[in-house]
Amino acid sequence: MAYVAIADRDHHLHDPDTFITKYIWSQDHKVIAIQYGVVAIGVGLVALALSLLMRLQIGFPDVFPFMTPYNYYQFVTTHGMIMVIYLLTALFLGGFGNYLIPLMCGARDMVFPYMNMLSFWVYLLSVIVLIASFFVPGGATGAGWTLYPPQAVLEGTPGSDWGIVLMLVSLAIFIVAFTMGGLNYVTTVLQARCRGMTLMRMPLSVWGIFVATILGLLAFPALFVAAIMMVLDRLIGTSFFMPALLSLGETTATTGGSPILFQHLFWFFGHPEVYIVALPAFGIVSDLLSTHARKNIFGYRMMIWAIVAIGALSFVVWAHHMYVSGMNPYFGFFFATTTLIIAVPTAIKVYNWVLTLWRGDIHFTLPMLWATGFIFTFIHGGLTGLFLGNVTVDLPLSDTYFVIGHFHMVMGVSPVMVLFGAIYHWFPKITGRMANDVLGKIHFWMTFLGTYAIYLPMHYLGILGMPRRYYDYGQTDFIPESALGVNQGITIAAIVVATAQLIFLVNVAYSLWKGKRADPNPWRATTLEWQTPDTPPKHGNWGPKLPEVHRWAYDYSVPGDEEDFIPQNHPIKPGEESLRNAGVSRE
Amino acid sequence: MMTGLAIGLVLGVTVWWILIQRLKDKPWERQGLIEGSQDGLTSSAPKVGLWVFMAMVTSLFLIFNGAYLMRMGFGHGELLGWAPVDEPGILWLNTFVLVGASGTMQAAAGAARKGDLGALRTWFTAGGALSVVFLAGQLLAWQQLAATGQYGVGDPAFSFFILLTAVHGLHLLGGLVVLGRTAARVWRGLDTENIAAVGKVRQTVRLCTTYWHFLLLVWLGLFTQLSIT
């Protein structure tokens, strides 16, 4: 054979030869994925602990002397920021994006491995800067995760001296890290797919990660701009966002800055961010459902169009976070309309997941449990989103626990359901061992039921009018005694759910050490990552020759075939075409 | 804002049209190896990477543009403390220098294509030098503005002027790092027998040229906006 594909020629370019280049300064996408995953989960545990501390205060006010209002606001802020950006974005894109894109597309690695490595180390730096903000004078910022000026930089807000600066700098560093990773993900999908892998044969996981990365590359600049301008406002006294105001009885030097401008910038990033987290989850859950229901995904093309449409629409809904900020009423009308429109492709996806399950050969494996759990929590959180998307309903519910219940359900619990499903699903490929089933099921049921015990009552509290972000509710007429009882219940449920996450950690540790050895393809899946010559895949992934793809990713239960799945790299068998058509006409 | 929206709309429609062409395949019907599909890593990956990066930078500057217009109150910003900056004349000179840099880079790309190593060295180095002159000119413009004593950090128009020119300059500086590394390799001498090395230099020169044209466009847009507001 005279012609050798480029990927087959130069895969020895960055072969690791020492411990350091293999596990630390590694350019291998699989190692980088695990590094991203470990750091993201580690910092996520910090955020989980912070949420427990703030729940202790809300459930049992005045019982814990270490919970001062100052600490409370710092914990609220850091919890939110870590969960949305440093955990979810980093784990879905840096973790699963890194692991899955090259393996699912049939590539040896990302196209710019050195930049990929830098991406992780810069991400780690952003995490260190963020955590360091707890240890500077004044401590971490307590401005709320949206960091609205002017209060974020004014004296009196926790962390207004150095905490806010470190938070903004950390975000800017994170965006640099994301850019380096993101260029890799997009370019690898576009330029390094193996022979036969057309865009329309890619698994939906890759589609979700791909489109989410494009959203990130276009939306993160808004946060970057906002962060830089606020740092300048804070450090050298520019007035981009800072208006003329009285602070602690004194007039500030700033004039005419626009706090609303910051809100526009923040949410122009913030709303696409929701989908930067959600689209990879949508993609991955589609693959989990299809694989474990032994059925092709319902409406593959429609799923992709929906992902693309949601991605495009996500840039024109941002101001629905700002209905109470004061806008031209026609703007409210416009953004309410676009918000309702974006529900259409989202609903199409939900129907398609349910129809994939319909009459499928459902195996309630661990990944499948989490995937079905996701459908419940996502429908739940999605429907309350329709309430909040309407201006007139949003006004009374804004800044209440209803909002907390809504967004935790839709972009907290739901993506986390998918993350756990994905971890249990790919655990055998990543580690070569099966995760423990019993521990995993206990983990699932405690988490699934527990999160309902936490967030369902919050909707009720919100309709009562209970405001969010308050440290203490004191004596108020509209909040009955029973609401305080509900808050205690929520706190106890939160402690139970947090404990369940320890079971997950135990499971990972135990399974790594003593788990059952995994087959190369334990779930009998069709996608390429399960067809690697080694499990876990070695550097370069594919041995001497890249795979070739002959079919789409969803050939499950093909009529007439003796197996209930045909991997993507299996050539067409003689007579398969006619069997397939016979199957279609029988339906 | 309107220009930004219009550019966004045109880009959106174009991307949508391209996508629709690509996304109407029915993969469950089309079986077997599809001829003409790519075969592993392509050599144009760095080019695609650069274009993706430029898309992101475009987004960055459009968002800065939106923030700028909003902060100046869409032309009614007197109440918001918006006092237009009187741009120093040296910016015109800088603009010509950057046009020159872009032109010499184009010449360098032409020399690389023809394999004329001597011309490549000259043009490529000249492009880098002109870019450094441009950056120095921008610093001079800052200095001239500061020397008038009319502007303070609290002036939003002045802050924006410094911020936007700085962000543009930093992007050019990033390009200069790549250019410097490649120029050093070209000056050290290139083994013309080594096809891979020559190909790599040729590609980097071409990508630098694209990036310089892009930064020139960004600057022209920026300069126009700063001048008319």
Per the CB < 8 Å rule, is A255 touching B80? yes
Per the CB < 8 Å rule, is B33 touching A548? yes
Give the lowest-confidence range in A256-270, A450-464, B84-98, B186-200: B186-200
Closest CA to A240 of A250, A249, A222, A228: A228
Residue type, A103: L
Mutate to test the interface with B, among A10, A115, A200, A230 (most CBs of B within 10 A): A200
- Model confidence pLDDT, tens digit, residues A412-448: 999 999 999 999 999 999 999 999 999 999 999 999 9
- Length of chain A measured in residues: 587
Burial A377-401 (b: 16+ CB within 10 A, else e): bbbbbbebbeebbbbeebeebbbbb
* Mean pLDDT along residues A202-212: 97
Nearest to B39 among A186, A195, A222 (CB): A195
Per the CB < 8 Å rule, is A254 touching B154? yes
What residues of chain B lie within 8 A of the CB of A221, using their CB? Answer: 56, 59-60, 63
pLDDT of B103: 96
pLDDT band at B37 (very low <50, low <70, confident <90, very high): low
Closest CA to A490 of A521, A517, A454: A454
Is residue A271 within 8 Å of residue A321, measured between CB atoms? yes
The angle formed by the CA atoms of residues A361, A366 and A370, to the nearest 5 degrees, is 90
Token pair 């949003």 is at which residue? Answer: A394
Residue of B nearest to A315 (CA): B8
What span, in angstroms and rounded, lies between the C-alpha atoms of A357 and A372?
9
Token pair 């310089």 is at which residue? Answer: B212
- Check pLDDT > 90 for residue A98: yes
What is the overall mean pLDDT for chain A? 92
- Model confidence pLDDT, tens digit, residues B149-200: 888 888 899 999 999 999 999 999 999 999 999 888 888 877 777 778 888 8
pLDDT band at B223 (very low <50, low <70, confident <90, very high): very high
Nearest to A187 among B34, B45, B81 (CB): B45
pLDDT of B132: 97
What residues of chain A lie within 8 A of the CB of B44, using their CB? Answer: 191
Nearest to B26 among A196, A199, A301 (CB): A301
Residue of A nearest to B68 (CA): A240
Burial B49-84 (b: 16+ CB within 10 A, else e): bbbbbbbbbbbbbbbbbbbbbbbbbeeebeebbbee
pLDDT of A264: 95
What span, in angstroms and rounded, lies between the C-alpha atoms of B156 and B73?
11
pLDDT of B3: 66
pLDDT of A159: 93
What span, in angstroms and rounded, lies between the C-alpha atoms of A367 and A285?
9
pLDDT of A298: 95
Per the CB < 8 Å rule, is B32 touching A571? yes
Give the lowest-confidence range in A458-472, A503-517, A536-550, A571-585: A571-585
Domain boundaries, chain A: 6-243+258-579
Domain containing B107 — which CATH number? 1.20.120.80
Per the CB < 8 Å rule, is A577 touching B31? yes
Closest CA to A541 of A529, A526, A553, A527: A529
What residues of chain B lie within 8 A of the CB of A112, using their CB? Answer: 45-46, 49
Closest CA to A390 of A337, A457, A467, A330: A337
pLDDT of A243: 87
- Check pLDDT > 70 for residue B45: yes
pLDDT of A580: 64
The token pair at A11 is 């895969």
H helix or E strand, kind and range, residue A246: strand A246-247
pLDDT band at A585 (very low <50, low <70, confident <90, very high): very low
Cα four-point dihedral sign A148, A152, A153, A156? positive
- Model confidence pLDDT, tens digit, residues A369-420: 999 999 999 999 999 999 999 999 999 999 999 999 999 999 999 999 999 9
Residue B57 is assigned to a structural domain of this protein:
no
Could you give the angle at which helices A300-313 and A204-236 cross, rounded to 10 degrees?
Answer: 10
Per the CB < 8 Å rule, is A256 touching B49? no
Closest CA to A164 of A239, A111, A258, A233: A233
- Check pLDDT > 50 for residue A279: yes
Report the gap between the CA of A281 and the closest CA in chain B (Å). 21
pLDDT band at A2 (very low <50, low <70, confident <90, very high): very low
Mutate to test the interface with B, among A8, A103, A191 (most CBs of B within 10 A): A191
pLDDT of B1: 54
Burial class (CB in 10 A: 0-12, 13-18, 19+), A568: buried
pLDDT band at A82 (very low <50, low <70, confident <90, very high): very high
* Alpha helices, DSSP H, located in B87-155: 90-114, 117-148
Nearest to B64 among A225, A312, A554 (CB): A225
Per the CB < 8 Å rule, is B70 touching A190? no
pLDDT of B109: 93
pLDDT band at A21 (very low <50, low <70, confident <90, very high): confident
Residue B155 is assigned to a structural domain of this protein:
yes
- Model confidence pLDDT, tens digit, residues A351-366: 999 999 999 999 999 9
Is residue B110 within 8 Å of residue B94, measured between CB atoms? no
pLDDT band at A5 (very low <50, low <70, confident <90, very high): low
- Check pLDDT > 50 for residue A1: no
Cα four-point dihedral sign A482, A483, A488, A493? positive
What residues of chain B lie within 8 A of the CB of A199, using their CB? Answer: 22-23, 25
- Check pLDDT > 50 for residue A3: no
Number of domains in chain B: 1
DSSP states along A69-114: HHHHHHHHHHHHHIIIIIIIIIIIIIIIIHHHHHHHHT-SS-S-HH
Per the CB < 8 Å rule, is A194 touching B80? no
Residue type, A392: T
What residues of chain B lie within 8 A of the CB of A29, using their CB? Answer: none
Per the CB < 8 Å rule, is A196 touching B33? yes
Closest CA to A556 of A297, A302, A313: A297
* Alpha helices, DSSP H, located in A314-410: 329-357, 366-389, 391-397, 401-408
Range of the domain at B203: 89-229
* Mean pLDDT along residues A450-460: 96
Q: Between 1.20.210.10, 3.40.50.920, 1.10.540.10, 1.20.1050.10, what CATH number should domain A6-243+258-579 receive?
A: 1.20.210.10
- Model confidence pLDDT, tens digit, residues A108-150: 999 999 999 999 999 999 999 999 999 999 999 999 999 999 9
pLDDT of A249: 79
Residue B179 is assigned to a structural domain of this protein:
yes
Q: How far is CA A137 from the centre of its chain?
A: 32
HSE, side-chain direction, 13 A CA sphere, residue A353: 25
Per the CB < 8 Å rule, is B23 touching A238? no
What residues of chain A lie within 8 A of the CB of B163, using their CB? Answer: 228-229, 232
User: CB under 8 Å to A376, separation ≥6 — which residues?
Assistant: A448
Per the CB < 8 Å rule, is A187 touching B52? yes
Burial class (CB in 10 A: 0-12, 13-18, 19+), B15: middle
